């Protein structure tokens, strides 16, 4: 999860000399971010044509992801703990793109080239030195994390689609068999690449806790202009091979406590919630689990039968469907009628708007922030395509 802006930058005007120079550059380039991005990639591909094949054929969908990640990291250069964790994940996550240590200097040189052109008003030798130091730190953490990961996990997994269940005209449950064991925790997500859109990766949560047969399943909704999601829903068939990146995400069950779990799943966001329920069941904890499953209409409650079956099997589980059209309130507000929730750990999964308002409602009903878990809203935005 990218570090949060407030946590990292502190009040304006504070920070190390390098952080101040970096922030000054960022203030200059932010209004022309699109131009910086285009110029950065133009430089990269003209100077290093061999790197072009690491990126998708059509760059418009995610062309600024690399640059954005680097700029986010540079802006948070003073916040070492959060930054190192973020960069280690970024370094490990880049293995699936085929990134190698020798690529980093080329990227750094083009980053400096693009910044010096568009931040010309503040660019000087001190600023350049600050960026070089920041980029050296950033790239070394990423390179080291990737090297350490190489010793214990593949860069990606191939997985064969073994079942494809179209639950609504635009939601499919896709089950795959990875080519080698795939270790993960319930509540986590992975990145998926289809054969039809090479090098375009999208995030999906695991819809089950780890299974003894090693199969993994995902809930995919075809969204407008979503290349990967439309391919997975409308084109993929059993026998097709997809690629999976490493597992990620921290929305996992804390098995050291016996607090109840309050779970809010909106739309296909129910997928990881189902995995969490299975995880509690397997641990035999018998903790109280209260699931609120939100959907726009009853047709959109594509997984309600599974959830109700789980409820029948497990007396500690309660599942409530909240249908916008009938309830006249959206999912997060619906929990106000129940509770009290202040002794519960809360888990949120769904569209970014639901996560944002869900966090507000939960705080409002007395759930402390440290007991509220969800994946980064930025990651979810990327997943919705
Ligand atoms: N497929 C997956 O594995 C996962 C998907 N997600 C995310 O979940 C979302 C699912 O999309 P859809 O199924 O189209 O869901 P949707 O847009 O139909 O929303 C589902 C429900 O969430 C609530 N909701 C939506 N927007 C809200 C807002 N602004 N404020 C308060 N409540 C709101 C409503 O109760 C709504 O019925 C996507 O953004 C996806 O990225 C999240 C985690 C896992």
pLDDT per residue of the chain (385 residues) written in tens, 0 to 9: 333 333 344 445 678 999 999 999 999 999 998 899 999 999 999 999 999 988 888 776 555 677 888 888 888 888 888 889 889 999 999 999 999 999 999 999 999 999 999 999 999 999 999 999 999 999 999 999 999 999 999 999 999 999 999 999 999 999 999 999 999 999 999 999 999 999 999 999 999 999 999 999 999 999 998 999 999 999 999 999 999 999 999 999 999 999 999 999 999 999 999 999 999 999 987 899 999 999 999 999 999 999 999 999 999 999 999 998 776 788 999 999 998 999 999 999 999 999 999 999 999 999 999 999 998 755 544 443 3
Model pLDDT for residues 62-111, shown as the tens digit of each residue:
556 778 888 888 888 888 888 898 899 999 999 999 999 999 999 999 99
Give how far Cα 161 sits from Cα of 200, 238, 243, 272, Å.
18, 5, 10, 19
Q: In what order do the strands lie in the sheet with 317-323?
A: 317-323, 289-295, 260-266, 344-349, 372-373
Where a domain ends, among 99, 129, 150? 150
38 and 14 housed in the same domain: yes
What pLDDT sits at residue 385? 36
Where a domain ends, among 117, 150, 183? 150
Atom of ligand 1 at shortest distance to CA of 334? Answer: 35
DSSP string of 150-173, one letter each residue: HTTS-S-EEEEEEEEEEEETTEEE
143 and 76 housed in the same domain: yes
Model pLDDT for residues 248-285, shown as the tens digit of each residue:
999 999 999 999 999 999 999 999 999 999 999 999 87
Where a domain ends, among 150, 181, 207? 150
Total domains present in the chain? 3
CA count, 13 A, side-chain hemisphere, 179: 15
| CATH code of the domain in which 229 resides | 2.40.30.10
98 and 169 housed in the same domain: no
Say how many Å lie between the CA of residue 381 and the centre of ligand 1: 11
Above 0.90 for ipTM, yes or no? yes
- The alpha-helical segments, DSSP class H, found in the chain are 5-9, 17-29, 33-47, 65-75, 80-93, 103-118, 125-150, 227-230, 270-283, 304-313, 324-327, 331-334, 352-364, 377-383
170 and 303 housed in the same domain: no
Say how many Å lie between the CA of residue 234 and the centre of ligand 1: 20
Residues with CB under 6 A from ligand 1: 204-205, 218-219, 221, 266-269, 271-272, 294-296, 300, 322, 324, 330-332, 349-351, 353-354, 357, 380, 383-384
User: Strand, coil or helix: what is 215?
Assistant: coil
217 and 330 housed in the same domain: no
Ligand 1 pocket test: pick from 189, 244, 268, 299 the residue with the most ligand atoms within 8 Å of its Cβ.
Answer: 268
309 and 368 housed in the same domain: yes
166 and 285 housed in the same domain: no
138 and 188 housed in the same domain: no
By residue range, what is the domain housing residue 337?
Answer: 260-383
209 and 274 housed in the same domain: no
191 and 322 housed in the same domain: no
249 in a domain, yes or no? no
What is d(CA 260, CA 273) in angstroms, rounded to the nearest whole number? 14
21 and 120 housed in the same domain: yes
Ligand 1 pocket test: pick from 266, 325, 358 the residue with the most ligand atoms within 8 Å of its Cβ.
Answer: 266
Say how many Å lie between the CA of residue 349 and the centre of ligand 1: 7
């Amino acid at each position: 999860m990218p570090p949060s802006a407030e946590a990292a930058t502190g009040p304006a005007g504070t920070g190390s000399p390098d952080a101040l120079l970096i922030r000054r550059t960022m203030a200059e380039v932010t209004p022309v971010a699109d131009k910086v991005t285009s110029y950065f990639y133009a430089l990269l591909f003209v100077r290093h044509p061999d790197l072009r094949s690491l990126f998708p054929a059509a760059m418009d969908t995610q062309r600024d992801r690399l640059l954005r990640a680097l700029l986010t990291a540079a802006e948070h250069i003073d916040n070492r703990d959060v930054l190192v964790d973020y960069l280690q994940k970024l370094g490990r996550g880049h293995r699936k793109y085929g990134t190698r240590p020798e690529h980093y200097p080329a990227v750094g040189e083009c980053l400096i080239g693009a910044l010096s052109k568009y931040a010309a008003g503040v660019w000087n030798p001190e600023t350049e030195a600050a960026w070089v130091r920041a980029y050296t730190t950033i790239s070394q953490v990423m390179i080291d994390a990737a090297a350490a990961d190489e010793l214990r996990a593949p860069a990606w997994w191939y997985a064969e689609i073994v079942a494809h269940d179209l639950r609504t005209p635009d939601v499919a449950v896709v089950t795959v068999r990875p080519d080698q064991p795939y270790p993960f925790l319930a509540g986590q997500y992975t990145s998926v690449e289809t054969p039809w859109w090479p090098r375009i990766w999208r995030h999906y949560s695991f819809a089950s806790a780890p299974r003894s047969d090693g199969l993994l399943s995902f809930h995919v909704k075809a969204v407008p202009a979503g290349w990967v999601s439309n391919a997975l829903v409308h084109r993929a068939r059993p026998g097709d091979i997809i690629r999976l990146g490493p597992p990620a995400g921290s929305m996992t069950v804390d098995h050291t406590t016996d607090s109840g779990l309050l779970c809010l799943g909106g739309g296909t966001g129910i997928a990881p919630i189902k995995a969490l329920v299975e995880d509690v069941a397997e641990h035999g904890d018998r903790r109280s689990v209260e699931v609120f499953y939100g959907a726009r209409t009853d047709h959109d409650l594509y997984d309600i039968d599974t959830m109700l079956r789980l409820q029948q099997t497990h007396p500690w589980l309660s599942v409530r469907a909240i249908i916008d059209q009938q309830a006249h309130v959206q999912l997060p507000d619906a929990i106000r009628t129940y509770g009290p929730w202040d002794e519960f750990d809360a888990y949120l999964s769904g569209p970014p708007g639901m996560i944002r308002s869900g966090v507000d409602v939960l705080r409002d009903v007395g759930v402390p922030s440290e007991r509220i878990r969800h994946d980064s809203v930025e990651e979810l935005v990327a997943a919705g395509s």
